[in-house]
Structure 1
Amino acid sequence: MQGRIRFTASKAPVAQEALARLIARYGQTEMRRAQVIVALGGDGFMLETLHAHGARDLPVYGMNRGTVGFMMNAFAEEDLPQRLAAAEAAVINPLAMRAENTKGKVTEALAINEVALLRQGPQAAKLRVVIDGRERLAELVCDGALVATPAGSTAYNYSAHGPILPIGAAVLALTAVAAFRPRRWRGAVLPTTAEVRLEVLEPDKRPVMADADSRSSVRDVVAVSVRSAPEVTHRILFDPGHGLEERLINEQFV
């Protein structure tokens, strides 16, 4: 299946150089005829590729030409067809964000890693947390809050001291960013069936922005709803023994 390859790369010089060498060696297939996408860059470029071509239902095999490369495989020019044939697929579902701003405009977007709410000004945000229609926190005073998928749990979520989630677990992480009140609240692990609604208290005095994977930003939000989107799937290919599940486990012991 992996015979027809579409190469794509970030704008970084090292990624562009790799792109030229791989195309010279293996050729370049038109996107409409491709059976697999090989993405050259870092994790940010992998997310960009998945968002851009998710509707095509093509597996994406990343090779690290960026910095961290958590979602990427090691780069090598040799034996690429063999690596693609042996690769293992991780199937992930994104989050669906629905954000309403102070003017009543509604913005919808998908997030593979996380949906984040962040304070927009100098004052802390005040949020009301509602899960499946039931109020769980009447007031969360914080710099922000986020909902993360297992695939995204080692990204911003982990930096905010959220839990690392196993890739096969049917759960989401709800994590506060620099929570002030309740002071000891560390977040929650929720089933993927849950719908999280974060309502902004005092939106004029304490403005808040919402963001999906750092690419779909909405300013001056008053409420954001987040749910898992099982109707949308992404397939990421990994070399055997180096898949997302292994990486998520290993990340907890480094």
Structure 2
Amino acid sequence: MAITVCCMRTGFWWVFHILLLLMVMALELASLGVTRWFKQGDEPETDWEGGLLGPTPDSNYFSDALPYSNRWDRCNDGSVTGQDGLCEMWHSLWAGGVIYILFETISLFFISATIFILILDMCRETRALWLSVVFIWNVLAWHFFALVIWSGLAIMYWDEDCKSITWNHGQSQARVCGKEGPAISLACVLFIPFVALLHTLVYLAAKKQRLHEPEGEFPMTTKGAESDRMASDNRFEVEHEHHHHHRHHNHTTKDANQE
């Protein structure tokens, strides 16, 4: 008997969940690919926009689009002096971008692993389906921490005053205003819990049916198979006895004819 949840077979649910996971994957890949993550500065003199690893090519202030890591190297080798606030910002943006990419890659791995387990369960039932629940919540955890860590290191705010490049007379890092990148990432944070919760509820409902299914069907199946086996054995014994009796009768008739 097929297992159904809310009048739908689990196979249909898994296909639906795979489509939702592909949507999450597309959003996460979009957050990695978008070039504008934040904006900072006062137009038109000092405005610039940045991505995960470096300024956007069309920035006015940092128009060379040199990656944050290279700018941080200049601070370390003494090429840049008296700009502690900028050096702190380069280091924070570089570290935040690397951590976000790393954590997002791990999140994408768990999405792929979840999809693989669901496809495997549709092809043949597997007892490893519980791993899909663990993996799908890992998708949320890694993505959530990626956004939180990046936002903290970059000092990212939404629609705040981000006109200053540095604070405290150039000695401290200034905040940035989030743009498309954090917006897409935040959409994932709001969307993934819905997908994870739905998948968990469907899994628990399906598991409950699987636990109760053997109690009602397995004994009947065993009893039927046992009855068929006993009937087959009895039929074999009757046929064997009849064959033995027939041979004995023929032998007796032959002896009587000889006499």
Q: Same fold (TM over 0.5)?
A: no
* TM-score, length-scaled by structure 2: 0.22
Q: TM-score, normalised by structure 1?
A: 0.23
The structure with the larger Rg is: 2
